[in-house]
Amino acid sequence: MAQTLRTQPIASYDDAPPPAPMTLSADAVVDRIWDTTRWKPLVLVSCVLDDRPKVSLDRLTSAIGDAAEILVITASEAWNLQRRVPRGFEAYGGAIRVVLPDATENDPSERHPLFFTFDNDNPADTVSRISSCLTRNDFTRTKSEQPPKPPATPRQQRRAQKLRDALRTIDRLEEDNTALTATVHDLRAVNTDLAEQLAQAKADMDELVDELDEATCPHPIVYSDPEEQLRHEIWLTWLTSTAETDRAAQPLCDYDLGPDFLDSMNLQLVSRGRILDVVVDVLTRRVHQIPARRSHPLRTADAGNAPQRTRPDGAAAWRCDLKTGKAGGPRLAWWQHPDGRIELGKASHHDDYALR
C-alpha cells in the first residue's frame, strides 16, 4: 500500500506559507491516478532538486479551492514516477501536471496538460493557467453562497464546447512549443560544439601542412652563391608547376631581388617551397588570377581608398598571401616596374608594411 513520505510543509519559491497537502511517494501518486472512483482532477506538483515547488502552494490552493486534489512529489520520487506511468502522466523539474478523472494508459498526453514555470516566468501566471484549465474542463471550486446558474442553452453549450476545444489546443501547442524550444537549445549547443571541433581540425591540418613543408627540401643546393641558388630554385619551381604546353604563355618575366628578399627567405614565416610557389605565380602574372593569393596594391595608408604606394622610378607596390585562408598570415611584397620587370621585395608578417 502506498505511503506518505513526510508530513512537514513544503517551502515555495516566493516564501508563501505551506498548504496542508502532504508530499506523496510515487506509489501513492500512481494509486490516485488510476483510482476509478476519483471524480476530481489531480494537480501534481513536482519539486526541483532541493525539494521545493516553483509556485506558491498557498496561492495554488487559494486559486483552485476544492476543484481538484493537490499532490506534491519530491524530485527523487518524480523520477520514480516517470518509470511507473506512461508518457503524458509524468511531472518533474518543477513542472505541474493536471490529471483529469477517468485516466487510462491509452490517453493522449494532451488530455492531461503539463504546465512549466521557467526561470524568468511569474509563478502566479502558472497558477492562473492551471485554474483556467480546470475551469474550461468544468471543474470549479464550490461556492455555496452563490445562487445556481440557469442551465445553458444549446447554443451556449456549443459555443462553450468550441471554446474548451480551442483552449485545449492552445495548451497542447504551448507544450509542443516548450519541447521545440528545448530541442532548438540542444541543437544550438551541438552546433557550437561541432563548429569548435571543425575549427580545431582545420588548425591541426594547417599545422601538419606547415610541418610537412618544413620537412621537405624543395630543391638540392647546387650553387654556393645564395642569389644564384635562389634563381635556380625559382626556375625549377616554374618548370615543375607549369605544364609544358603553358610555358610559352606563362614565362618567367625579368626580375630582380630587392635588398631584403634573400634575408626574408630565412625568417621561416612559411616553408621555402611555399615562398617559391608564390614567387613563380608573381613572375608569371598568374597571381592575379588565383583568388586564394588575394593579390592587392600595397597602399600608402590603411584606408581602402588610399593611393597605391609608388617610387620615384615609377615602380608600384603589390602584396599577396603566402598562406591560403589566413587573414592575418604572412605576405609577399614586390615592386612592379612600368617596363614589366618585377623586383621581389620580401616575405614578411602581415603587419609589416615596410618595403624598400
Report, as an integer, the average pLDDT of 287-303.
91
Whether the predicted pLDDT of 284 surpasses 90: yes
**Maximum average pLDDT range among 194-203, 277-286, 304-313:** 277-286
**Burial track 79-98 (b if 16+ CB lie within 10 A, e otherwise):** ebbeeebeebbbbbebbbbb
- Grid cell locating 352: 609589416
Q: Are 6 and 25 in contact (CB under 8 A)?
A: no
Q: Are 234 and 280 in contact (CB under 8 A)?
A: yes
Q: Are 323 and 347 in contact (CB under 8 A)?
A: no
> Hey, what amino acid is at 299?
R
Flag the least confident range among 21-30, 67-76, 110-119: 21-30
Q: Of the candidates 9, 40, 31, which has an alpha carbon nearest to the alpha carbon of residue 81?
A: 31
* 4, β-bridge pairs: 24
Report, as an integer, the average pLDDT of 227-254.
95
Contacts of 303 (CB under 8 A, 6+ apart): none
Q: Are 137 and 41 in contact (CB under 8 A)?
A: yes
Report, as an integer, the average pLDDT of 97-123.
92
* Whether the predicted model's global pTM rises above the 0.85 cut: no
Flag the least confident range among 17-21, 102-106, 242-246, 319-323: 17-21
pLDDT value, residue 34: 93
CA dihedral 165, 168, 170, 173 (to 10 degrees): -120
Write the pLDDT tens digit of every residue in 136-166: 998 887 754 455 667 878 888 888 888 888 8
The SS3 of residue 99 is strand
pLDDT value, residue 144: 46
The SS3 of residue 89 is coil
Q: Are 89 and 103 in contact (CB under 8 A)?
A: yes
Assign residue 191 a region: left if phi > 0, alpha if psi is -120 to 50, beta otherwise?
Answer: alpha
